[in-house]
Amino acid sequence: MYDLHSHSILSDGELLPSELARRAEELGLKGLVISDHVDASNIDFVVPRLADVSRQLSAVMNLVVKPGAELTHIVPSELPGLVVRARELGAELVLVHGETIVEPVLPGTNHAGIESGADILTHPGLISEKDAALAARLGVRLEISSRKGHSLTNGHVAKVARETGAVLVFGSDTHAPGDLLDRTEAEKVAMGAGLGPNEVQELFKDTEGLFHAEKESLRR
């Protein structure tokens, strides 16, 4: 089980990266991306620290921890530059906070996030078929989220991904201890999104594949 989306106290999570990783390890996860919220104000502070602690934790745990960054509530025109900056600072996966229906994300963020070359568009809300098709063409993954509120549109995301060929991945968007899921619980979220048994297995296969992708293959 791999989880591509979590938050520590370096943004709005409740746990230190070390406790977050330990709790994930205890649940049997094999890989965790700590992808704290960043914008231009804190990206230079957060990402290098996640890169450092991820290396330290991975060296001593039965779990691989990778540093990420979730670009959050960014003016769409600023996303391409910040995607590049996050990678320069050490983020191995770059996420863009999509147009969830439960937050006032600027319209156009989904489209700009996909065009920016990010790896994952998180909880993309009522994403259009046109943008999902663009994600499929550019290799940007769409998230099936277990986060309260953000998960309300999982069914829509799954439907448009099926229609356009966009690739789905799983992220818990963990902020608190109880948000982390093991594989059994994560599969229930996927089934709740309307994915069939084969699609559920493909979701977690694609999630693992992105986690292990070489850095060079993620640059577009």
Query: Which pLDDT tens digit goes with each residue over 57-79?
Result: 999 999 999 999 999 999 999 99
Assess whether pLDDT exceeds 80 at residue 187: yes
Average the pLDDT over 84-111 and give the result: 98
Tokens of 160: 């448009």
Average the pLDDT over 84-106 and give the result: 98
Residue 214, pLDDT score: 76
| Nearest CA-CA partner of 162 in 202, 189, 123, 192 | 202
28-40 pLDDT, tens digit each: 999 999 999 999 9
Q: Which residue has the higher pLDDT, 220 or 206?
A: 206
Of the chain, the percentage scoring pLDDT greater than 90 comes to 97
Of the chain, the percentage scoring pLDDT greater than 70 comes to 97
Domain-wise residue ranges, the chain: 2-218
Query: For domain 2-218, which CATH number applies: 3.20.20.140, 3.40.50.150, 3.10.20.90, 3.40.50.970?
Result: 3.20.20.140
